[in-house]
Structure 1
Amino acid sequence: MRPRATPRPELIGRLRAAGCVFAEEESALLVEEATSAAELDALVRQRVSGLPLEHVLGWAEFCGLRIAVDPRVFVPRRRTEYLVKRAARLLNARRAPRMPVVVDLCCGSGAVGAALAALAGPLELHAADVDAAAAACARRNLLRLGAEVHEGDLFDPLPERLRGRVDLMAVNAPYVPSEMIGTMPPEARLYEPRVSLDGGPDGLELQRRIAAAAPEWLAPGGHLLIETSRRQAPQTVKILAGNGLSGCVFSSRKLDATVVLGSAATADASRRGR
């Protein structure tokens, strides 16, 4: 890896004037990425125009990895690293002899799946997204890891052989209420697809659909991890409980992140309930 480039005052000034809060860090990254003065100028012009830094660079840093990010694809947020942390902890605590089956649902660029493969692999990893651009981007990040990427609405494109076999499902589904999309930063509402942001009237529409179908796909004792907001978390727990999944909330103040864990009954508990 090349050493981090020295920030240039003139570039920092241009970026800061455009409203870039972390102008010094961005300047260094743009200088490092460019292979010529002309390319650097083009990159800076894109950033000053409002294009997200990750789309300008073509990658986002996530859990210590460089994740390829194509234009019009959701940029992985740092808060989602907490979802990965909780998921990796569950996977690393498993004692089963077989390789765990993991699904990165609403995968976007595939960042969550890629990070889990790095932190808790080897995995039988599957990722799915309804957006064609996201699925294509996820393939760039995940196929080299031996994962399968599926394009379609939620569970629809998953192979039937996964039904009842998924040990962990990590979900970063859209959870922003529809009426709040207009209040989001321009980098999100102008450059990321609405389908990756809009969670319906109360932000929980996708969570309801996922919770309703997830028990059919989870293995006995399997887990569903959903990123949500601190405000929405109690309702998310109720949604999971209403579909037979015990739920609990985990939060990180440092990352301003909230994750709800839903757990399926174990095989023994299922037999006792018959």
Structure 2
Amino acid sequence: MSDLFDFRRRLDNYAVMGNPVAHSKSPRIHTLFAEQTGEPVHYEAIQVDPGGFVQAVGNFDASSGKGLNITVPFKQEAWALVNERSDRAERAGAVNTIKFIDKTLFGDNTDGIGLVNDLLNNRIEIKNKQVLLMGAGGAARGVLAPLLEQQPAQLIIANRTAEKARELADSFRDLGNIEGSGYEALENKQFDLVINATAASLQGELPPLPDNLLADGATCYDMMYGAEPTPFMHWATQHGATTVLDGLGMLVEQAAESFYIWRSVRPDTKPVIEQLRREMTA
């Protein structure tokens, strides 16, 4: 036991904080990254009670922690806590990555670049394409700036509450051609790329989508993931999508971006995604 303690003392400490957090795959992902790159990283999951986030971050900092990932429900609280933010974190209004630099807490948001990198790695083009993003919550806000940087022909946000979608679109209008609407406004529109940023899949539900939504050769992407295809992925397959992807790749890609922010080393994500997929379906 003392040998293990001495070994861990020689490692740099990182963690993910959230509630709940026991299900998080982040410790497994970053352990695989550390093994692959040879970086001296120890990574754990820390459950934080409501109201205890600021204290938990302070305790981690005091124990010589080097960096944190932040998940639900603390991303907005992390945004408010940090001293400095990246441009993408500023736009997202949420922080999922903290790097401790002396007395400074630097906050970033790697969700959007994780999504974009996974799409590009799967040879899904975004530039000049018609893109639909379903949902107008934090998950959607976090990916908008990186998606718009890829210069789609148009990006439409659809949400059950249309006004929320329009307000979100207005706040990103300076970055590209973006509109917000309710689902009923999607009739007679077709999209090359449809991304589900709602939590509907977690409840086994599906947003109300018209049958003719998909253009020829369309890609459908669900930011949720699991051992089995989500309801949206089933819908996509039944309605003729050429490519159907879940969010496991996004999870690994956003983790790789965090790892790079902390360590200045970029891990190879492909074998990690393949390993997680094997473990999920075993």
Q: TM-score range by the shorter chain?
A: 0.3 to 0.5
